[in-house]
Structure 1
Amino acid sequence: MDEVAFHVEDGSSCRKSHHPERVKKDLTTRLNRIEGQIRGIKGMIEKDVYCDDVITQLSATQSALNSVAKILLEGHLKGCVVDRLSEGDDAVLDELIVTIQKLMKK
């Protein structure tokens, strides 16, 4: 498995996540598509496209971001969380609760 740096809010690298190459490729593809959607939305606003149409595209983009989050959360649960629990690190549960709360705010 390949390592991907996990960056905290201040940009410092602290822990690593291990995603199989196929998962990283899938996530990158999804994020590239989302990036294109965002550019498209920006263009729609610049061209004064009808608000409802822009909102529809925003909704689709949010859904795509949620899909990325679900994939990452599943990998985190099955990998990082299980590993840390097996090492006796119960603090990962508190971290997971905070992460889920952040996702639910959306």
Structure 2
Amino acid sequence: MKFEADELSDVVKRLRRAQGQIGGIIQMIESGRDCQDVITQLAAASRALDRAGFKIISTGMDKCLVDERAGAPEAEANRAQLEKLFLSLA
């Protein structure tokens, strides 16, 4: 399943934020910051990545519903693929 760039613009924003968080984590490690601070930021970046993944799947599910209602033949295969992707994030 493919998406248009504008369908996932909020996902790109989340990923850019996570990219910044990861850069910050690297700097924290390099500057010898406390382990607890590093892990806290690492957990936040991990959650941001998970949320981006779930948003992509959610967008795909919306497309599947539209395709199913329109009688698109690939709708069932797309749904099965999205289910596998969802379980890989869970």
| Partners of 2:13 and 2:80 in 1: CA distance | 31
Matches within 5 A, 1:1-106: 16-18=2-4, 21=6, 23-79=7-63, 81-85=64-68, 86-89=71-74, 90-104=76-90
RMSD: 2.0
* CA shift in 2, pair 1:30/1:82, >3 Å: same
Name the one with the larger strand percent.
1
| Structure 1: 5+ residue stretches without partners | 1-14
Residue 83 of structure 1: CA displacement? 4.7
Q: Provide the aligned length of Structure 1 versus Structure 2.
A: 87
With a CA cutoff of 8 Å and minimum separation of 6, indicate the structure with the bigger relative contact order: 2
Kindly indicate which of the two structures has a greater share of residues assigned to helix: 2
Deviation digits for residues 39-62 of structure 1 (CA, Å, limit 9, x no counterpart):
000111111211111110011111
Distance of 2:8 and 2:79 partners within structure 1: 25
Q: TM-score, normalised by structure 1?
A: 0.68
Deviations 1:46-99 (A, max 9, x none): 1121111111001111111122122211110001x2355431332223312211
TM-score with structure 2 setting the length: 0.78
Structure 1 outlier segments of 4+, above 6 Å: none
Query: What residue ranges of structure 2 are gaps of 5+ in the alignment?
Result: none
Amino acid at match of 2:65: V
Alpha-carbon distance in 2 for matches of 1:60, 1:38? 10
